[in-house]
Chains A and B, each alone.
Chain A
Amino acid sequence: MIACISIPYFAAQVARLHTSTLPRPLVLITYKNDLGVVYGADEHATQARVLPGMSLNKVHAVCPDAHIVPANPHQDQETLNEIIQRLTYFARRIEVNKRSNGQNAYIYLDLGKLRPSEAIRIGKHILNNLVSKVSVCANLGLAKDKFTGSLASIYAEPGQVNLIRLREEQNFLASKPVNLLPLTKDMRRKLPLLGIRTIGQFASLPRSAVFTQFGRSGRFAHKLAYGEDTRRVALYKPEAMETATQHFEGAINNRMVLETILCQIADELSQRLRNQQQTTQGIELTLQLENQSQITSTRILGNPIHSPRRLSMVLYRLLSECEISVGVERVEVRLKQLQALIPRQLDLFGHTTKSADIEDIVVNLIRRHGECFFTASLSEKDDANAEHRFHLNVIGGIA
């Protein structure tokens, strides 16, 4: 049994969690090429036909009294992670749908084999848990496959569980609009021209004809329309990351002080990475300013790093990219894409290890040429004299 949790107006709900006094209708915007576009909207704005991706001018036209605030995708992601963390109590296979955005979030759970009554009970328990612990209102759909489950959650009453019983999938899907299927641009244009408006009409077409007309994506959509979704819910793997945060009692205005703090954070994080034998490839710097706004700067590196020097250099660069106009109250550094420190390469080249030791190699030569073969070892003491910083050990002779 697969459960699909749909969280409608996700970004708006998360924004209200953090600032409960936000007025309605609420529109959250993000910036693309310096132009504001809708990231998410609440139910009132959605009823007024404000859609994700819409430009600000259009928002003003369709919903003049909308309250517009900047979106915080980072905060949304954190909330989503928290929800997933809570759901791990119910299932091991948890997957966030790729269609999730600021407007709606979809999460699949594989609950395993369950009787319908048990599934409904667990579904209600999940929803209650989300409301009580994360304060997020969600719907839940239960079905044998992912696609039917997701539609069941969309058509569920708010805060209710919608169960589609076995062998009832086709009846349930038949009356739903065909646009709910994952269609290509070409299919979206052609299907209404062919008079196909519901999933049932699409499912009644011969699969070979759909394949001839629309190719593999058409055949896949036809399978979904037929209730034959064989996709499995992926196993949940939490993303490994390291975070270091520094709060200040008074806001900091001095850049030198900020750089010193970043250097200390880099030292701390580097030590943590070293203890875990890991390196990082993604570094994110978040500054919380005096005026309660946040600046986030991210860099994905070509090669993974772990040394404090390299980390602090990247952090300085990220700091220089931030346009700081007022004092900084909090600094947070997050290391993502953690990898093993020493990548182990398989023996791709069929190279055989030579068994002879170094001493075996030169033992005959020592007899002939005398003691002119050495190995070097570095001294632990950091001597000012360069010649005292290492020792030469005679091979096969007195050290």
Chain B
Amino acid sequence: MDVNKSQKLKQLAQTLQREYGIHGFRLGTQLNPKLEIIPTGVSGLDNALEIGGIPCGHLTEIWSKPTGGCSTLTLSLIAQAQAFNHHTVFIDIQDTFDPEVAHQHGIDLNALVLVFPQSINQALDITYELIVGGQVGLIILGFGLLEAHFSKPNLFQRLNLAISRSSCAVICHALSFEHENVNSLSDATALRLLCEHTQWRGRHGDVTGYISTVRITKNKFGRQNQTVQIKITLEHGVS
């Protein structure tokens, strides 16, 4: 590009940024190319995601049927985020969080903030304010059991902008009996994972865990429709 043209472009960018704010108009070179991630704790899944984990500054959805391994995967993510010194918040909308299981998965309960909101709207408000605060590294929105066709993109509209400007990873974790046709919670979701129970694992007649298949149905950073099998041990979590 001509030197004059590039200087003119910079001047134009500065003018527009003064008018619309720094996020309103940015040159390609001003975008941060370094994507922060939080590993899932399952090396196979990290490899399949192609970026090595869950992206920060993006929304991730994890769906599953009950006993599909979704909660275990979420707990593993919290443990990994804590290992990377991120502050973590679990927003428990349907009161499904079990501290004892979380402790078994290596989560430091003293460093985890539990939020029990009264409604989804309040949960999203709190999420927004936590993201804007800029001090939290990982927020889990635990929706519990949802209808497959639950979809309120307008609820997430404000959230999407805040997430994209932050370095916080937001994970929506929801259960649904109708696995195949789940609606996306938000159009801006960067990553959507569907967990499905595949088979039980046992030893001497006792159930020691199960194998779950994780399907990547949406991935902005790599290939989609990949499946990864994860082993879930009831005492020690995912591997």
Contact = CB atoms under 8 A, between A and B. Distances in A.
A372 B135 contact: no
Contact of A361 (B85, B97, B109, B130): B130
Interface footprint category on A: 20 to 34
Given A356-B135, A365-B126, A378-B100, A373 B115 contact: yes
Given A351-B85, A365-B126, A377 B135 contact: no
B126 A358 contact: no
A374 interface: yes
Interface in A314-332: none
B103 interface: yes
A378 B103 contact: yes
Contact of B112 (A351, A362, A375, A386): A375
A377 B84 CA distance: 21
Interface string B89-115: 100000001111011000001111111
A390 interface: yes
B124 to A, nearest CB: 12
B130 A365 contact: yes
B146 interface: no
A362 B79 CA distance: 20
Nearest to A360: B135
Contacts of B117: 369, 372
Contacts of B133: 361, 364
Interface in B184-216: none
A387 B109 CA distance: 16
A362 B114 CA distance: 11
A291 B239 CA distance: 44
B110 A390 contact: no
Given A361-B133, A365-B129, A365-B130, A376 B114 contact: yes
B122 interface: yes
Given A353-B85, A361-B87, A369-B125, A375 B113 contact: yes
B48 interface: no
Contacts of B125: 369
B136 interface: yes
Contacts of B87: 354, 356, 358, 361
A6 B179 CA distance: 72
Nearest to B118: A372
B112 A354 contact: no
B100 A377 contact: no
Instruction: Give the top 4 A-B pairs by smallest Cβ distance, nearest first.
Output: A376-B99, A390-B99, A374-B114, A376-B109
Interface of A: 349, 351, 353-354, 356, 358, 360-362, 364-365, 368-369, 372-378, 386, 389-390, 392, 395
Given A354-B135, A365-B126, A378-B99, 9 more contacts: A351-B84, A353-B85, A358-B87, A360-B135, A369-B126, A372-B115, A376-B102, A378-B100, A386-B100
